[in-house]
């Protein structure tokens, strides 16, 4: 049976769910001769309203989903001032409408607020979100008409820029960490302005080193070109420190055994490096292919494989 492992970047259109995007790729892979058991997953759900980048993981590379999801993301969003909705975006029921006060709502007023929403902040997710509440998704409870109290959660906003402003609308570009709700960000800024706000549009342009530049629309993925669109899994860990290992070391990794890599100066110089705790280290072979994600222990100079991505050699 044919196998495939790697990553694909898709430009999701408005109105399509992330699950439908995955299903489209799965169906094309089956048409291309891959078995029904081939695994396909995605990194970071986009609501149907949102457009932009979805990274699809295929085969063994689905184990890289979490590593990709935790990387910074870049969004561009627009927000309607003076409107509050049940979903914190324009698809929800309007709960309140207010005419923005030109004396209180201005470009300067928003710019003055942005530092308050930058850095490590606390954010309450939308009522219609995938957050678990007593074992159930918040959006399922919200659809039943039940209002649930959601606790604020820490999120990280690396960069927040005002891209456009009119009295009834403003635009933002956001670079943020995993778990950030852009809808909540617009809602909270609107609340601080005293008139409320709801998200109108949202586009994701980047996840880590992945961008829309090489992404294709779902309908452009065909059985004839799908293999050419799948990138090597090593692209998913370009942000992590790496070390090249020998063929003999690779055999040990395939057996799940730790290997000696010595002191790694390029890793020690990283300001985030903690010499006392194991850190993630990518192991690559002489052909620059991903072999494993390992835990590197500085004191011992060893790397213990946690995830192995290549099949061991066969006789």
Q: Active-site residues: which are they?
A: 47
Contacts of 236 by beta carbon, 8 Å cutoff, 6+ apart: 7, 55, 57, 61, 64, 67, 68
**For strand 51-58 and strand 6-12, is the pairing parallel, antiparallel, or unpaired?**
antiparallel
What six digits make up the tokens of 227?
A: 């293999």
- Do residues 143 and 127 lie in contact, with contact meaning Cβ atoms separated by under 8 Å? no
Contacts of 75 by beta carbon, 8 Å cutoff, 6+ apart: 52, 172, 173, 174, 175, 176, 182, 202, 203, 204, 205
Between the alpha carbon of residue 201 and those of residues 129, 170, 266, the distances in Å are 17, 11, 41
What six digits make up the tokens of 68?
A: 């990709």
Bridge partners (DSSP) listed for residue 164 = 171
- Do residues 4 and 38 lie in contact, with contact meaning Cβ atoms separated by under 8 Å? yes
Whole-number Å distance between alpha carbons of 21 and 150 = 29
What six digits make up the tokens of 111?
A: 């710019």
């Amino acid at each position: 049976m044919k196998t495939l492992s790697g990553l694909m970047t898709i430009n999701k259109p408005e109105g399509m769910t992330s699950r439908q995007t995955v299903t489209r790729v799965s169906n094309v892979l089956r048409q291309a001769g891959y078995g029904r058991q081939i695994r396909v997953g995605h990194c970071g759900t986009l609501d149907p309203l949102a457009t932009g980048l979805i990274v699809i993981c295929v085969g063994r590379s689905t184990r890289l989903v979490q590593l990709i999801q935790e990387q910074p993301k870049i969004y561009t969003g627009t927000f309607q001032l003076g409107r509050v909705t049940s979903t914190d975006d324009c698809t929800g029921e309007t709960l309140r409408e207010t005419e923005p006060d030109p004396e209180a709502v201005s470009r300067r007023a928003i710019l003055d607020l942005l530092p308050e929403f930058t850095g490590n902040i606390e954010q309450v997710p939308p009522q219609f979100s995938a957050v678990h509440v007593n074992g159930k998704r918040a959006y399922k409870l919200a659809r039943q008409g039940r209002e649930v109290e959601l606790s604020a959660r820490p999120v990280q906003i690396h960069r927040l820029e005002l891209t456009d402003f009119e009295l009834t609308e403003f635009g933002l570009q956001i670079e943020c960490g995993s778990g950030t709700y852009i809808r909540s960000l617009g809602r909270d800024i609107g609340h601080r302005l005293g008139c409320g706000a709801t998200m109108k549009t949202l586009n994701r342009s980047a996840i880590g080193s992945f961008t829309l530049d090489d992404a294709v629309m779902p309908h452009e993925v065909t059985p004839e070109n799908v293999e050419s669109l799948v990138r090597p899994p090593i692209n998913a860990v370009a942000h992590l420190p790496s070390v090249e290992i020998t063929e003999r070391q690779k055999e040990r990794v395939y057996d799940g055994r730790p290997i000696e890599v010595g002191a790694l100066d390029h890793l020690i110089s990283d300001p985030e490096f903690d010499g006392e705790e194991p850190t993630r280290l990518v192991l690559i072979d002489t052909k620059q292919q991903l072999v494993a994600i390992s835990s590197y222990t500085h004191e011992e100079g060893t790397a213990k494989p946690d995830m192995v991505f290549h099949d061991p050699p066969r006789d």
